[in-house]
Amino acid sequence: MKIEVKDLTKKFQNQVVLGHISMTMESGHIYGFIGRNGSGKSVFLKILCGFYMPTVGEILFDGKNDTKKNRFYPVLGALIEKPMFLPNLTGFENLELLASIKNKITKEDILDVLKKVDLLDEKDKKYKKYSLGMKQKLGIAQAFMENPDVIILDEPFNGVEEETAITLRNMLKELKKQGKLIILATHMKEDVMDLSDVIYEVQNGKFHKQEK
């Protein structure tokens, strides 16, 4: 998988939130984007997912431009901003409902990913009773569960305990070895420094590639 971002610009009314962004991202690599809230990184991720259309420029997935179709790209698994699920369903039921859209995975696959994010013991608890860390882990589980080619995680370590953070880091390293293209966004530099092959600092809608 190769993602090519070409002269990407996004405006909301007259405000430029992303300005002339160009880069290439490839499978088997982890890309880290570091910036404060409001810097533009979450808008960038939403455009990658197809939630927003760019004002100018385009994004190519393996040479194919679907940017203007304004749809969620099928090769992606994403967690952007705060995860939201149906409050009166259990963690497992929420993932099962999402999985029914594409019907690509089994109940056993869902249980497996819940185990990987250390949420298996809480699978039958209603989402409204989940702690912040449990909600975050469920969001990560839904991003991983269908084995996507591209994984996008916005603030993935927010609210999770250190043991789970270590598990998540190991999972990301293993997924990289499997050839996944992984994109991480955070306001905490230490969250992605040791994981990322390429790092961009995001400031006022501008992306600055950093030397590691």
- Of 16-20, 65-69, 190-194, the least confident: 65-69
Q: Is the pTM of this model over 0.85?
A: yes
Task: Tell me the pLDDT of the chain averaged across its residues.
Answer: 92
Do residue 70 and residue 113 come from a single domain?
Answer: no
Can you give the pLDDT at residue 50?
A: 87
From 146, 173, 192, the end of a domain falls on 146
**Residue 66, SS3 per DSSP:** coil
First-residue to last-residue Cα distance in the chain: 24
Residue 11 has pLDDT above 70, yes or no: yes
Asked if 153 and 139 sit in the same domain, the reply is no
Rounded to 5 degrees, φ, ψ at 157 are -95, 5
Tell me if 77 sits within 8 A of 26, measured CB to CB: no
Segment 133-167, tens digit of pLDDT: 999 999 999 999 999 999 999 999 988 888 889 99
- Where among 111, 131, 146 does a domain terminate? 146
CATH number, domain containing residue 158: 3.40.50.300
* CB contact at 8 A, 186 and 112: no
68 and 152, same domain (yes or no): yes
Residue 189: what pLDDT? Answer: 87
CB atoms within 10 A of CB 88: 10
Beta bridge partners of 34: 186, 201
Q: Band the pLDDT of 2: cuts 50, 70, 90.
A: very high
Same domain, 64 and 164: yes
Residues comprising the chain, all counted:
212
Pairing of strands 181-186, 64-65: unpaired
| Domain that residue 193 falls in | 1-75+148-212
64 compared with 115, residue with greater pLDDT = 115
140 residue type, one letter = I
Instruction: State the burial class of residue 132 (Cβ atoms within 10 Å of its Cβ: 0-12, 13-18, 19+).
Output: exposed
Both 157 and 106 in one domain: the answer is no
pLDDT at residue 4 in the model: 96
For residues 109 and 157, state if they share a domain. Answer: no
Number of folded domains that form the chain: 2
- Which of 66, 79, 51 minimizes the C-alpha distance to 143? 79
